[in-house]
Structure 1
Amino acid sequence: MSKLKIVVLLVCCTLKGLLVISQTATITGKITGSDGGQLGAATITILKLKKGAASDSTGIFKLEQVPFGAWQIEVSHLGYKTYRTNITVDHNEIIQDVALMQATDNSLNEVVISGTMKEMSKLESPVPVEVYTSRFFKSNPVPSFFDALQNVNGVRPQLNCNVCNTGDIHINGLEGPYTMVLIDGMPIVSGLSTVYGLSGIPQSLVERIEVVKGPASTLYGSEAVGGLINIITKKPGNAPLVSADVFGTSWGEVNTDLAVKFNAGKKALSLLGVNYFNYRNKIDNNHDNFTDVTLQNRISVFNKWTFQRAENREFSLAGRYIYEDRWGGEMNWARKYRGGDEVYGESIYTNRWELFGTYQLPMKEKVLFQFSTNGHNQNSVYGAIPFMADQYIGFGQLTWFKTTGHNDLLTGITYRYTFYDDNTSATADKNDVNLNKPSHTRLPGLFVQDEITLNSQNKLLLGIRYDHSSVHGSILTPRINYKWNSVNKKNVLRLSAGNGYRVANVFTEDHAALTGARDVIFKDDLKPETSWNGNINFVKKFYIGNAFVGLDASAFYTYFTNKIIADYDTDPNKIFYDNLKGYAISQGVSLNADILFPCGLKILAGATAMDVYRKEEGKRIDQLFTEKFSGVWNIGYTFKRMGLTIDYTGNVYGPMRLPLLSETDPRREWSPWWSIQNIQLTKKLGHGFEIYGGVKNLLNWTPNKGNPFIIARANDPFDKNVDWDANGRAIATDPMGPNPFGLTFDPSYVYGPNQGIRGFVGARFNLYK
C-alpha cells in the first residue's frame, strides 16, 4: 500500500471517529414509583458527563446532547433507593423508562407500628406517626437519643438541673412524665425512662424512631398522655456484620458505638452492641465556680436475638444493661466530699437493666405474647442529701389479631407490676414517717381496637381500654380516629379524639425535688391525671416546578383534669405537689415541611406554636419551662462526585416562664429567644468508611447571657450564710451584704444547655459481607 493511500485511510478513519464522537442523542423516559404513580422531581444524572435533568410533575424527563457511547445513568428520588443502569447510546433518540420499586426512609409506604400496635404503611395508618431514621440523626451526631431529639419538631429535651444535668422529654409542651418510651414496641415503663431509656443505645443498632403526639393510653396505658417515643432496633438479618462509630469533641467528650452480628447455630441470629461515653473535663465558662456540664462515665450493652421458627412465627429477645457515674458541682469537688457539706456536688450512680421480647404462639390465629421488665437502682447525693431508690417493673401483654371482612380487630390483655422504694417521704408510712413502706402497684388492663376500612379512601379506628389500678381503681380510656386520603394518595386527612391518663410517681420524675434546696410537701393523696385530646392532621405532597414538597400540618388541643402540679411559686423553700383544683390546657399548631430540589438539596423544617397553661380559682398561670414557639431545621446537600455531604441543623425557641425565688430575684422571669445551630461535613471514603466533622453551637449561645447568674447562691450552696425570718423565708440583706436578693441555693433555673461552641470529628465503618 502506497504512503498516499495510508494517509488517506488514516484521515478517513479519524474523520469517521470524530463524526461518531460528535454525534449526540436525546434520552427520554418516565419515572414511576412502586405503585405505578408518576414521580416528579426525580433526578436523572450521568455522573461521568456531569450531565443531569429532573422529571416534571408527570414523571417525564429529557436528557439532551448525550454523546454516543456506553454510560451509567443514576436515578434518585426522595423516599426511594437510588437506581443505576447501564445504557448504550447509538442512535438519535433513546427511550428509558424507570420504575423505582424499593421505597425507603422518607416514603409514605414505610412501615410503622406505634399508632395501632401492628405493622402497616405510614400512609394507611389512621394515627399520624412521625418517623425519623438513623440517617436523620447522623446529620448532627450526639452521644444519646435524648440529645438527638432536639431536632425533632415539637419535641424538646429539657434539662431539669443546672448541676446534675438530668432531664426529660417534652412533647408539645407536656413534661417528661407524660411521655412513654418504648423499645421495639415494649414500654420501658418508668418515670426515669426519658432520661435513661434514651441513653446508651448504640445508634448503629437503631433502624428508626417513631413519634406519636397526643394520648395513646388506649393501647399503651399509663404515661402515654402526651405521646410516645418508640425506638425500633434493626432486625439482625438487616444489620451489618460489623459497625463502628466513634467521635470526640474539643471539650473532651468521647463517644463510641460498636456493634457486631453473629449466628448461633442455624436458627438463631444475634446483634450485640456496646456504647461508651466519657467526659471528664471540668469547665466553668460562666465563672460561677460550678461545672458547666456534668462529668459522665457511661457504658451500655445491648443484645438482641431473633429465632427462626416454623411458618415464620416471631420470636425475639433483647436485653440492655447501663451503668452511669455522673457528677456536677463546685470545681474543687472530689469523691471524698460526696454526701458532705464542705464542697457541694451532685453525684449519681445508676445501675439499670432491661429485658423484653416477643413470642408468637403456635396457633393458626396471630396471637403474640410480649413482655418487658426492668430494674433501676439509683444511688445519689445532692449536696448533703442522699437519695437512694430501687424500682422494679414487670409488664406482660397478650394480643390477638383478627381480620374479618373490612374489620381488623386487635384485642389485648395486659398486666403491669411496679415495686418502688426510696429513702424519702414518698414511701414513708402515713402514720409513722420514720417507718419505710415500699409501694406495690398492680395495673391489669384490657383493650379492644377495631380498624374499619370503609373503602379505599376512608378508614375508621375505634378503641377502648379498661384498667384497674390497685391504688386508684377503675380507669376507662376510649379513642376514635378517622383517615381520608385522595385517590392519588397525595392528600391525607386524619382526625382523632381520645382520652389519656397517668398514675403518678413523683420522686422518680422530678429531680428538682431532690437538689437539697427545697422541701417537698404532698398536700393530699394524688389522684390519677386524665386528659381529653383532639387532633387534626393534614398531609399534602405536591410539586413546585421540579421541586418536591411535602407538608404535614397538625392542630392539637388537650384538656386536663386532676393534673399534678409542682408548685414552685408559693414558697421558695418548698415544692408543693397536689392535683389541680381547676383545669389545664395544652393547645397549638405545628407544621413540618419536606422539600427536595432536583440538584440534590434537601430541606426538612418544622415549627410549633403552642399555649400551655392552667386555670385555678379564675387565675391563668403559664406552665413553667414551656416555650410559646419552637422551630427546627435540617438542610443537607451532597456533592455526589466528591462523595461529600454538608448538613446544617438547628433549632430556635421562644420565651418560656422560669421559676424565680422571690420578687427581688434579679434573673429574668421569661427566657429570651435562643437558638442552637450546627454544621457538619461528611466524606465517604469507600468500602464502608466515612469520616465527619464540624462545629456545634455555632452562635456560642449559653443561658447565662443576659442574666446576672443562673444558679442562685452558687457561692453558698449549703445556705450557711442565709438568715431566715419567722416564716422560714430568706431575709434580704443590704446591697453590700451577703444576700442582697434574699435567695437560697437553687439550681432549677435552667432552660437550655450550658455548653458553648465546640468542634467535633468522627469516623464510621459498616461491613455487610
Structure 2
Amino acid sequence: MPIFQIFVAYILCRLSFGKKLIPHQETRRMLFHVILQLCCERYVLTLPTEMKTTDIRIYIKRLVSCGVLLLSAWIGTMNVSARTIAGIVLDETGEALAGANVYWAGTTIGCSTDADGKFSLETTKGTKKLVASYLGYHNDTTEVESSSRLTIVLVSDLFLDEVSITERRMSVLRSRSSAIATETLTGDELVKAACCNLSESFETSASVDVSYSDAATGAKQIRLLGLSGTYIQLLTENTPSIRGLSQSFGLEYIPGSWMESIQISKGTSSVINGYEAIAGQINVEYLKPQKQDPIAVNLYLSSELMTELNVTGGWKVNDKVSTGVLLNVRDMEMAMDRNKDGFADAPKTRHANVLNRWFVQSGGYTGQVLVRALYDQRLGGQLHGKHEDPYTIDLRTRRIDGFMKNGYVFDKDQNRSIGVIAAASYHNQSNKYGERLWNAGQANAYLNAIFQTSFDDSRRDTSDRHEHKLSAGVSVNYDRYDEEYRHIFASPTEVNSRLQNEVTPGVFAEYTYTYKDKLTLLLGLREDYSSRYGWFTTPRMNVRYEPFKCWTLRGSAGLGYRSPNAIADYASYLPSNRGYAVSKRLEQERSLNAGITSTFYIPIGNRELTFSAEYYYIRFFDGVIADLDADVHGIRLVNISETAGAKSYSHSWQAEASMEILRGWTATLAFRYMDVKQTTTDPTAGELVLRDKVLQNKFKGLITTSYQTPLKTWQFDLTAQFNGQGRMPTGFCIPDKSKQYYQAGDAIYHKWYPQLLGQVTKYWRTCSLYAGAENMTDFRQDSPIVGADNPKQDGFDASMVWAPIQGWKVYLGFRWNLEKRDN
C-alpha cells in the first residue's frame, strides 16, 4: 500500500543520514535523494531538481507527516471494519431461539445462535443491515449503528405458505457463551429416528450410550463418561425426575413426542440444581403450551407389533394464560422369541401417560403448574404353553408427579428476580421376577428458592465490558422409601423390609463473571446436611476462554454426591439367581470430576466446521463397588472406604466433527475411548485386583448423516455406530459355538460390533410420513440369558447383556398437526 511504502522510505532515509551507518556526508545525501526520487516517481510526486539537504529534510518530514496521518486513519478504518457485534435472538415470549440464522443482508457472512440464543459476528463494510431468521418466524432486519449488544425478537409466522424455502440449521447445538460444556438436541435431531421415548433419543448422540440393562425386562440404561445413568442427574424442566425407584424404566416414561429439546452437560454442572451430578446432567424440556399446535398427533407401528399413539395440544385461554395437554398410549400384546431360548425377547407392554400444564405470564410474573400421571405394566419371561411352571416377570408401576414454578422479575435492567420451584412425586411398584418379589414405594418432595441479580460495570463501553451475575438460594429434598424384598415362598421372618427417610436441606451460591465475550468464570458452592450422612460441601468451578473467535476452551472441576440404594441402583440383577451380599451400611458416594474441552469453529467457504476434543476424569473417594468377580453366582456391594486399596475411576477421551457439507446435507463423525476401572476380587487368589469394569465398552465410534431436500419435502437420515469390546465377569462361560468373545490373559472380552439405523421422512404442509429400520446389521448377542433352559438353577442370569437381543426392526409412523392460528 502507498502509505506503508512511504513509511518504509522514510525509515530508509533516516538510516541514510546516520553517520555510523554511512560516514561520508555526500554519499548519504545522494542516497537520500535517490530513495526520495524513486518514491516520488512511484506515486507521481513532484520533486524540485535543486534541493538542499535541509529542504529535502523539510519536504520528506511533511510528506511523512501526511503519510502518518493517512496511516492512522487507515488503521482506524480497519479497526472499525473489524469490530464485533454481539446479541441474542428471542421469540415474542422471551424464550431464546437456538440455531437461528444471523447474517448481513446481501452477503453470505453470518452465523447461527448457540443453545442460549446468543451470537457474535464481525461487521462488514458493505452493509449495516443485520438479518435474523428462524423456521416458523418472520425474518427481522436490524440497522446496526453502534457496537452495543443487540436483542432481536422474532415474531411467529402463523400463516406459512404451502412451500417455504429455508436454510437448514444444525440439529445439535453447542453453546458458545456458556461456561458449562452443553450440547442441545433440538426437535430436528429428535425426529431423525423413531424416538419413542427418552431412552431412544440418544441413538444419534456421540456423548451418551444406550443399551439394555438386562435381557428379560426390556429395561434400558444410559451411560455418560463411562458411568451408568445412576450417576447422571436426570431432570425435567430443571426439577428432579428420574431417580430412586424410577431408574429402571424412567427413561421410557418420557415420550419422544413430548420433548422440545434435551440439554446434555458433561462434568460438573450448576450447584443451583443440586449436588447429584457426578458424571453430568441431562435436562429435558417438554413442549410449551404457548408454542404448541392446537392438536398434534403421532402414530407409530413397529414390526414387533408395538403400537404407540401420542396426542398433544396447546391452547391460549387469554392474553395471560395458556394450557397444554400431552397424552401417550403404548401397547404391545405379542411376545416374540427370535433367538429360540424360550424367553420373550421383549415383554408385553401396556402403558398410559398423561400430562397437563398451565402457564401464566403477567408483567414481571411467570407461573407454571404441571401434573402428570402414568400406569405401566410389563409381562415377560418364559413363553406360556412351552413350560409347565414358567419363569414369569410381572412388573406394574403407578406414578404421579408434578411441579409448580413461580418467578418474578422486579428489575429488568439488573435482571433481578426471585423464583420458587416446588416439586413432588409418588412412585409405587409391584414387581415379580420368577420367585423373587420386590414391592416398593417412594415419596419425594423438593423445594428450591433462588434469588438472581446481575450488574455490568462497563458503563456502556462495549470494548471493555464486565458482567457479574450472582445466584443464591436454599433448597430441601425429602425421600421416603418403603421396600419389601423376599422370596415368593418366604416366611414372614425371612422378609427383608426397609423403611428409610432422608431429608437434605442446603444453601448455595453461584457467581458468574463475563469479560467481553472472551472469558466466563462460574464458581459455585453448596453446603448440605443429610439426615443419613451429615454435613457435606460441594464446590464447583467452570471456566470458558475464547482466545480467538474460532477457538473456545473450557475447563471444569468439582465434587458430586449421591445416596445409594442397594436394590433400586442394581435392579438389573433381579431377573437372575445371583445372591446379594451387601455391606451393613452403604456410604454416601463422593467423587471428583475434572475435564477440559477445546472447540474449533473453522470457516470453510460459506460454511463452518465444528471440531471438538475433550477429556474427563472421574475418581471416587468413596462409593459402592458392585463386585461380580468374587462369586460367579452372586454380587457383592462393598464400600470403597472399607476396602483397603480399593479404587474406582474413569478416563474418557472424545473427538467430534460436524458440518453442513452442502446445502441441506449435514454430517457428524465422532470417536470416544474410555478407560473405566474398579478394584474387584480375584476368586482364585482371594486378592483385590484393579481391572476393567464389567460390561463397559472400551470405545464408541459414530457416523451420522442427514440430507433434507431444498423445499423440505424429503429427509433422509442414516446413523452408524461402532461399539467397542468389554470385559465379562470372572467365571463367565462362553456359549457353545459362539465367536463373539475372545480371551485376553485370564479375562474374557466380548468383541466390538456395528449397528446401522436409518429413516426416510416425507413432509407435507401439516403432516409427515416416516419409515425406518433399526439394527440393520442384524447383530444379535448369542445366548443373552445364561441358563435360559433352567431358570431355577443357580447359573440363571439375564444381566449379562451387552448387545442387541433382537435383530432387524422396521417401523412406520405418521405425524399430523393442526396449524396454530392468530386469535
TM-score (norm 2): 0.73
**Structure 1: distance between partners of 2:172 and 2:720:** 28
What's the counterpart of residue 555 of structure 2?
495
Q: Kindly indicate whether the alpha-carbon contact (under 8 Å) linking 1:158 and 1:752 is maintained by their aligned counterparts in 2.
A: yes
What's the counterpart of residue 400 of structure 1?
451
What's the counterpart of residue 243 of structure 1?
296
Q: Kindly indicate whether the alpha-carbon contact (under 8 Å) linking 2:238 and 2:273 is maintained by their aligned counterparts in 1.
A: no
What's the counterpart of residue 800 of structure 2?
749
Cα RMSD, aligned residues only: 3.3
Q: Kindly indicate whether the alpha-carbon contact (under 8 Å) linking 2:103 and 2:131 is maintained by their aligned counterparts in 1.
A: no
1:602-641 equivalences under 5 Å are 602-615=666-679, 619-641=689-711
Q: Secondary structure at the match of 2:726?
A: coil
What's the counterpart of residue 716 of structure 1?
790
What's the counterpart of residue 572 of structure 1?
632
What's the counterpart of residue 356 of structure 2?
303
**Structure 1: distance between partners of 2:597 and 2:468:** 23
Shift of the 622–642 alpha-carbon distance from structure 1 to 2, 3 Å rule, reads: closer
Cα deviation 1:424-449 (Å, max 9, x = unaligned): 389xxxxx975844001111111111
1:148-159 equivalences under 5 Å are 148-159=201-212
- Which of the pair has more CA radius of gyration? 2
1:259-274 equivalences under 5 Å are 259-264=312-317, 267-274=320-327
Q: Kindly indicate whether the alpha-carbon contact (under 8 Å) linking 2:172 and 2:183 is maintained by their aligned counterparts in 1.
A: no
Counterpart amino acid of residue 294 in structure 2? L
Structure 1 unaligned runs (5+)? Answer: 1-31, 44-56, 62-74, 86-99, 113-121, 427-431, 720-742
- The answer to whether 1:320 aligns with 2:394 is no
Q: Kindly indicate whether the alpha-carbon contact (under 8 Å) linking 2:199 and 2:210 is maintained by their aligned counterparts in 1.
A: yes
**Structure 2: distance between partners of 1:371 and 1:82:** 33
What's the counterpart of residue 685 of structure 1?
764
Q: Secondary structure at the match of 1:496?
A: strand
1:32-71 equivalences under 5 Å are 34=102, 39=108
Q: Secondary structure at the match of 1:238?
A: coil
What's the counterpart of residue 217 of structure 2?
164
What's the counterpart of residue 448 of structure 1?
509
Q: Which moved more, 1:548-557 or 1:209-218?
A: 209-218
What's the counterpart of residue 407 of structure 2?
360
> Aligned to 1:471, which of 532, 547, 550?
532
1:193 Cα deviation from its structure 2 partner: 4.2
**Structure 1: distance between partners of 2:797 and 2:261:** 38
> Aligned to 2:595, which of 514, 535, 538?
535
**Structure 2: distance between partners of 1:372 and 1:548:** 42
Q: Which moved more, 1:525-534 or 1:633-642?
A: 633-642
Q: Kindly indicate whether the alpha-carbon contact (under 8 Å) linking 1:361 and 1:369 is maintained by their aligned counterparts in 2.
A: no
1:196 Cα deviation from its structure 2 partner: 3.8
1:749 Cα deviation from its structure 2 partner: 0.9
**Structure 2: distance between partners of 1:751 and 1:604:** 25
Counterpart amino acid of residue 34 in structure 1? V
How many positions carry a matched residue from both structures?
648
1:374 Cα deviation from its structure 2 partner: 1.0
**Structure 2: distance between partners of 1:470 and 1:83:** 51
**Structure 1: distance between partners of 2:500 and 2:111:** 59
Shift of the 479–223 alpha-carbon distance from structure 1 to 2, 3 Å rule, reads: closer
Structure 2 unaligned runs (5+)? Answer: 1-84, 86-100, 113-121, 140-151, 156-166, 457-466, 488-492, 681-686, 742-747
- The answer to whether 1:142 aligns with 2:195 is yes
Q: Which moved more, 1:502-511 or 1:441-450?
A: 502-511
Q: Which moved more, 1:351-360 or 1:641-650?
A: 641-650
1:272 Cα deviation from its structure 2 partner: 0.3
Counterpart amino acid of residue 360 in structure 1? G
> Aligned to 2:660, which of 581, 584, 596?
596
**Structure 1: distance between partners of 2:385 and 2:625:** 34
What's the counterpart of residue 97 of structure 1?
none
Cα deviation 1:521-568 (Å, max 9, x = unaligned): 112311111111211112211223454311222111111121211111
What's the counterpart of residue 52 of structure 1?
none
- The answer to whether 1:387 aligns with 2:438 is yes
Shift of the 186–36 alpha-carbon distance from structure 1 to 2, 3 Å rule, reads: farther
> Aligned to 1:549, which of 590, 596, 609?
609
Q: Secondary structure at the match of 2:271?
A: helix
**Structure 2: distance between partners of 1:462 and 1:691:** 47
Counterpart amino acid of residue 773 in structure 2? V
Shift of the 439–153 alpha-carbon distance from structure 1 to 2, 3 Å rule, reads: same
- The answer to whether 1:511 aligns with 2:511 is no
1:195 Cα deviation from its structure 2 partner: 4.3
Q: Kindly indicate whether the alpha-carbon contact (under 8 Å) linking 1:41 and 1:548 is maintained by their aligned counterparts in 2.
A: no
Cα deviation 1:708-730 (Å, max 9, x = unaligned): x22111111112xxxxxxxxxxx
Counterpart amino acid of residue 406 in structure 2? Y
- The answer to whether 1:418 aligns with 2:479 is yes
Counterpart amino acid of residue 698 in structure 2? K
Q: Which moved more, 1:692-701 or 1:385-394?
A: 692-701
**Structure 1: distance between partners of 2:125 and 2:468:** 39
Q: Secondary structure at the match of 1:199?
A: helix
Q: Kindly indicate whether the alpha-carbon contact (under 8 Å) linking 2:213 and 2:572 is maintained by their aligned counterparts in 1.
A: yes
Counterpart amino acid of residue 647 in structure 2? Y
**Structure 1: distance between partners of 2:169 and 2:566:** 38
Shift of the 206–60 alpha-carbon distance from structure 1 to 2, 3 Å rule, reads: farther
Q: Kindly indicate whether the alpha-carbon contact (under 8 Å) linking 1:585 and 1:613 is maintained by their aligned counterparts in 2.
A: yes
Q: Secondary structure at the match of 2:662?
A: coil
Cα deviation 1:635-663 (Å, max 9, x = unaligned): 11122357111111232210112335456
What's the counterpart of residue 27 of structure 2?
none
Cα deviation 1:364-392 (Å, max 9, x = unaligned): 64111002211111111000111101011
1:35 Cα deviation from its structure 2 partner: 7.2
Q: Kindly indicate whether the alpha-carbon contact (under 8 Å) linking 1:546 and 1:597 is maintained by their aligned counterparts in 2.
A: no
1:184 Cα deviation from its structure 2 partner: 0.7
1:456 Cα deviation from its structure 2 partner: 3.3
Counterpart amino acid of residue 597 in structure 1? I
Cα deviation 1:55-112 (Å, max 9, x = unaligned): xx99999xxxxxxxxxxxxx999x9549999xxxxxxxxxxxxxx99699967997x9
Shift of the 76–322 alpha-carbon distance from structure 1 to 2, 3 Å rule, reads: farther
**Structure 2: distance between partners of 1:319 and 1:101:** 31
Shift of the 208–60 alpha-carbon distance from structure 1 to 2, 3 Å rule, reads: farther
1:181 Cα deviation from its structure 2 partner: 1.1
Shift of the 425–106 alpha-carbon distance from structure 1 to 2, 3 Å rule, reads: farther
Counterpart amino acid of residue 637 in structure 1? Y
Cα deviation 1:490-535 (Å, max 9, x = unaligned): 3211111111111111212212342251221112311111111211
Q: Kindly indicate whether the alpha-carbon contact (under 8 Å) linking 2:541 and 2:558 is maintained by their aligned counterparts in 1.
A: yes
1:575 Cα deviation from its structure 2 partner: 1.3
Counterpart amino acid of residue 513 in structure 2? I
**Structure 2: distance between partners of 1:664 and 1:753:** 17
1:696 Cα deviation from its structure 2 partner: 2.0
What's the counterpart of residue 348 of structure 1?
395
Shift of the 60–319 alpha-carbon distance from structure 1 to 2, 3 Å rule, reads: farther
1:758 Cα deviation from its structure 2 partner: 2.3
Q: Kindly indicate whether the alpha-carbon contact (under 8 Å) linking 1:527 and 1:579 is maintained by their aligned counterparts in 2.
A: yes
What's the counterpart of residue 92 of structure 1?
none
TM-score (norm 1): 0.78
> Aligned to 2:278, which of 222, 225, 229?
225
